[in-house]
Amino acid sequence: MLSKNKVKYIVSLQKKKVRDEERLYVIEGDKLVNEYLISGILIRTLIAKPEFINSIPRGLENNIDEIEPATHEELKRISRLKTPHNAVALIPVPQQEFDTPGILRDLCVALSFIQDPGNLGTIIRAAAWFGIKNIVCSNDCVDAYNPKVIQASMGAGIHVKVHYSDLRSFLKDALKERVPVYGTMLEGKSVYDQKLTGKGVILLGNESKGIPEDLHPFITNKICIPKFTDAVHGIDSLNVGMAASVIFSEFRRRVLDENHESA
């Protein structure tokens, strides 16, 4: 049986402050927990119905420190959802080195003040799909271990390192290393026409305010997704998650094209 204190503890991990202190975050859902298990990620505590526990493939239980069988009612108490799933797990926040030269060796993403957890989750999911391994968030971005981010990213965070840092100094380093910084701005050049490289920083800004002025000097290439409509009013922009998907796709397509040409 799940003790009252344990329930309270798990629920408290919905707060960033507690997650930061405990270095733990919560994932919820049969599919998500299974993906973590299969990916070989260490699970500190698994709270699940006995039938879920019994269905864990042999050997994978070695990735779990502690298993707590729970009833539907108990899962309901720790769930964020109206109808709880069969499994919830506590995962240690990964220790990851902020290795600027390593990050700048490949295509990466920098996010300035992304506030909506759904947007950050979508961007992480798109990054994982398009094989982008590092996202550098400004310190005022929403927390990547926020339960809504985890939900929107569908566990894609397993494949992408999300760092928090001072973007000014990160972008300064990019300039020093002569790595192009692609800033997405309404007045940018069409991403379809812009020269794109396999190495670079894709900089995306806040949902309504865009990229803050103090970061503009670091942008070497302004890009935009052209609008194909003659409607003058409305539709100011694509949502930042959609824009990220389109831009990541365009970078990767070019790299493919280059490979074709050289093949």
H or E, element range at 51: helix 50-54
Q: How far is the CB of 20 from its own copies (least distance, A)?
A: 25
What are 81's two structure tokens? 């959802």
Amino acid residing at 204: L
Q: Look at strands 161-165 and 134-138 and give their pairing.
A: parallel
Q: How far is the CB of 257 from its own copies (least distance, A)?
A: 8
CA atoms of 188 and 196, how far apart (whole Å): 13
* Residues 119-148: x where in contact with its own copies by CB under 8 A, - otherwise, as a string: ---x--xx-xxxx-----------------
Q: Which of 63, 192, 197, 212 binds its own copies (CB under 8 A)?
A: 192
Contact stretch for its own copies (CB under 8 A) within 19-27, 52-60, 211-219, 231-239: 231-239
Nearer to its own copies, 171 or 247 (CB): 247
CA atoms of 81 and 46, how far apart (whole Å): 17
What are 143's two structure tokens? 């927390």
The answer to whether residue 80 forms part of the interface with its own copies (CB under 8 A) is no
Task: With CB under 8 A as the rule, give the number of residues binding its own copies.
Answer: 41
Amino acid residing at 209: K
Q: Look at strands 43-48 and 87-92 and give their pairing.
A: antiparallel
Q: Which residues bind its own copies (CB under 8 A)?
A: 35, 38-39, 118, 122, 125-126, 128-131, 154-156, 158-159, 190, 192, 225-231, 233-235, 238-239, 241-243, 245-246, 249-250, 252-253, 256-257
